[in-house]
Structure 1
Amino acid sequence: MELLEAEEVKLVRIVSEYVEAYDFEVYDIVGTILWFREHRIVMWTTIGLYLLGIYFGQKWMKNRPPFKLTFPLFFWNLGLALFSIICTLRGIPELLYLLSKPDGMYQAACVGPPHNFATSFWGLMIVLSKIVELGDTAFIILRKQKLIALHWFHHAATLLICWIGYEYYETGGRFMFINLFVHSFMYSYYAFKALGVKISKNVSQALTTLQIAQLAYGVYVASSILYFWAQGRPCRMHFETVSFSGSIIAIVLVLFIRFYKQSYTARDKIKMK
């Protein structure tokens, strides 16, 4: 894998037009990227252990009563909700700033600078958080709830996309912060639900709709990058990442639409009958 060119890692440390980086957000970006590139086995091992944990965890819980885990689940979701909010506030200003410029999609998806240490730092935190979020599945297994394919595939695939995207330090990684924006609402919803707070099913339906919209936009971003290439415009992205992540996002989008139909459309039909 080629090293990053110098101009691609020149970041703005202090006041920029969209965000100010704090001292703790300034880190060795090139060194961290190289570590990720040299240790991809960590990502594959994590995903492998995750899938094995699902299989053996369900077998272990088969003849055992479910755990309640009310307060651990609440604090788990609360922590992820707060993390998602912070990531959104620190990372999304750069994306919004670039999208607001002329030819905004090209600027945000394909151009390296302008870039900020704050955006880079929280982008790294997002990648690491995808390992932490695998713990969502542990709660489902221990509480003996139904584990659908959408759940575990989505978690494993997201970790894969984010890890490889950081290895290449893809400019399109800026769009990851949209995912954290959605998670801000999603994990807040789960936190209240863990405490037994009665929430209208319309809220969960709205959250699923928001997730579908996010995934559809992800497919649009990948398609836009392919279009820029077809026009012969330079784009600091790699075909492996764009094609791979675009395909996975499209698969997850189909699964979410299918889940939406099964959960809400079918339910509405039953009510009408």
Structure 2
Amino acid sequence: MDNLHFGHKMESGVTVPNYSYVFHFEQEFIHSEIKPLFDTYWRQVCIYSAGLYFLLIIVGQQYMAARPRFEIRNCLTAWNIFLALFSIMGAARTLPEFLHVLKTHGIYHSVCIPSFIESDKVSGFWTLMFVLSKVPELGDTVFIVLRKQPLIFLHWYHHMTVLLYAWYSYSEYTAAARWFIVMNYIVHSVMYSYYAFKALKFRVPRSISMVITALQLVQMVVGCLVNFWVIQMKQSSLECHVSDQNIKFSLLMYTSYFVLFGRFFYNAYLANQLALKSKSV
């Protein structure tokens, strides 16, 4: 492991956080070597992944319709533990760069300058891992189908659009993705840890599930705010490495998520309580 010292300036003039250590695989990460390969194949990966995903949902549900559910709790437990640890690691490795940029360079830099990919090897590596992880995360749906659990629109729509947007944004080195990645890592750290404890048959309070959905709603609100900040920067003629098309996609995505997660929150946690209150009046 190699050390990086606080205040060390990169070629771009941007400083990096004071990492106490840097793993060898992080130190060896060179974004300029990955980018050409990514640009060549990202569309094909998205198209094939989306096609296979929808095929899995349709064929899988038809296959399971007349069959008993699979009891695969051990696999489910291992899956959720792996994703929880991955998300915790991702959050721990990207949050320092995020906080450092906010403290030393401010909001403008955090939403408009993609130094988290171009100047910071640690954050750059885990940004790529975040993008790549959106393909295997589709495996969440496999467990739902095989265990014959309800597959709601929110679930598959969210998984599919996050995959498409993440890969598309990486192809452009979208600067505002710094916010989206850190938020997603943090929320997934809590969410997959919750799923892991549930799979291990721990009695987790229902309030934890409610808190996770609330965090997801906050994530969507912040996502919209970040896009509005980017719009303001661009309208002020400031250089901002976020395309107009990306802003439109991102706003549409985060707004739709807010509506869907808000509806889920109401139906899951509030509807029954409100119904009981109205009956008691």
**TM-score normalised over the length of structure 1:** 0.91
The match for 1:16 is 16
Instruction: Give, in whole Å, the separation in 1 of the partners of 2:91 and 2:12.
Output: 19
Q: By how many angstroms is 1:133 displaced?
A: 0.5
Matched, 1:236 2:237: no
Q: By how many angstroms is 1:249 displaced?
A: 1.5
Residues 31-79 of structure 1, C-alpha deviation per residue, up to 9 Å, x if partnerless?
A: 3122121111111111111011101100000010111211110110000
Residues 114-163 of structure 1, C-alpha deviation per residue, up to 9 Å, x if partnerless?
A: 73100010000011111110000000010000000000000000011110
The match for 2:222 is 217
Matched, 1:162 2:166: yes
Q: By how many angstroms is 1:197 displaced?
A: 1.6
Instruction: Give, in whole Å, the separation in 2 of the partners of 1:160 and 1:87.
Output: 20
Q: By how many angstroms is 1:270 displaced?
A: 3.6
Q: Secondary structure at the match of 1:16?
A: coil
Matched, 1:254 2:259: yes
The match for 1:264 is 269
Q: Secondary structure at the match of 1:144?
A: coil
Q: By how many angstroms is 1:260 displaced?
A: 0.5
The match for 2:195 is 190
The match for 1:6 is none
Instruction: Give, in whole Å, the separation in 2 of the partners of 1:27 and 1:17.
Output: 17
Corresponding residue to 2:59 among 51, 56, 59 = 56
Provide structure 2 residue ranges, at least 5 long, that are not aligned to the other structure: 1-9
Task: Report the number of matched residues.
Answer: 262
RMSD: 1.8
Instruction: Give, in whole Å, the separation in 2 of the partners of 1:149 and 1:180.
Output: 22
Relative to structure 1, the CA distance from residue 113 to residue 34 in structure 2 (aligned partners, 3 Å threshold; closer, same or farther) is same
The match for 1:5 is none
Q: By how many angstroms is 1:111 displaced?
A: 1.8
Q: By how many angstroms is 1:200 displaced?
A: 1.4
Q: By how many angstroms is 1:11 displaced?
A: 7.5
Provide structure 1 residue ranges, at least 5 long, that are not aligned to the other structure: 1-8
The match for 1:80 is 83
- The answer to whether the 8 Å contact 2:17/2:96 transfers is no
Residue identity matched to 1:187 = Y
Relative to structure 1, the CA distance from residue 224 to residue 271 in structure 2 (aligned partners, 3 Å threshold; closer, same or farther) is same
Q: Secondary structure at the match of 1:184?
A: helix
**TM-score normalised over the length of structure 2:** 0.88
Instruction: Give, in whole Å, the separation in 1 of the partners of 2:65 and 2:187.
Output: 33
Residue identity matched to 1:100 = K
The match for 1:30 is 32
Matched, 1:105 2:110: no
The match for 1:142 is 146
Instruction: Give, in whole Å, the separation in 2 of the partners of 1:11 and 1:198.
Output: 50
